[in-house]
Structure 1
Amino acid sequence: MPVLNAHPRRINPRKLLLSKWTAVNPINREKHFIVTRVVQPEHPDEPIEWIDLQAVLSKRTQTLRWQVLLDSEEWWQGWKP
């Protein structure tokens, strides 16, 4: 059973642009990532849902929901060795 963090990670999606992330389980040596775009919703009243996350090594970009970064078993905030 996974250990739940007593203090869940809080992220403001509007401040994600250019934030750095480390994949806990790298694939194809892609370990370090940077948020290159925060996709703005069509209507300003709607919440932000999507970001572009770019691998530093390969420059491959993927679009995903920003909430996946809340999973500390998959992502660490900042660049870790």
Structure 2
Amino acid sequence: MSQIEPPTSKNPPNRFNPRKLRLSKWTARQPCNREKHFLVVELLEDEAGNLLEVELQAVYSGRSQWLDWRELRDSARWRIGWH
């Protein structure tokens, strides 16, 4: 996983409720392998119920990947919704 960079004034962080991420839609700012639109299909929580990771599934290819849910706050990499 990549290092999470602090947001700049040019790219304020995406704001969302982590508990409402399931089935949310995301757009990659820099698509890779023609994968631009993603859907959060699963949440991984610890024993205490704290969110750890999300599973993103690419709409185009169906490929899934796990990433730290905080990476979705990076507005330079992700946009909320499908654009």
TM > 0.5 fold call: yes
Q: Within the alignment, does 1:64 sit opposite 2:67 as a pair? A: yes
TM-score by length of 1: 0.84
TM-score by length of 2: 0.82
2:45 corresponds in structure 1 to 40
Change in 2 beyond 3 A, CA 1:62/1:7:
closer
Q: Which has the larger radius of gyration?
A: 1
- Structure 2: gaps spanning 5 or more residues: 1-6
Instruction: String of CA shifts for 1:25-76, please: whole Å, max 9, x gaps.
Output: 00000000000001121223xx211000000010000000011111111000
Structure 1 consecutive aligned stretches of length 4 or more whose deviation exceeds 4 Å = none
Cα root mean square deviation, aligned: 1.9
Structure 2: how far apart are the matches of 1:17 and 1:6? 24
- Structure 1: gaps spanning 5 or more residues: none
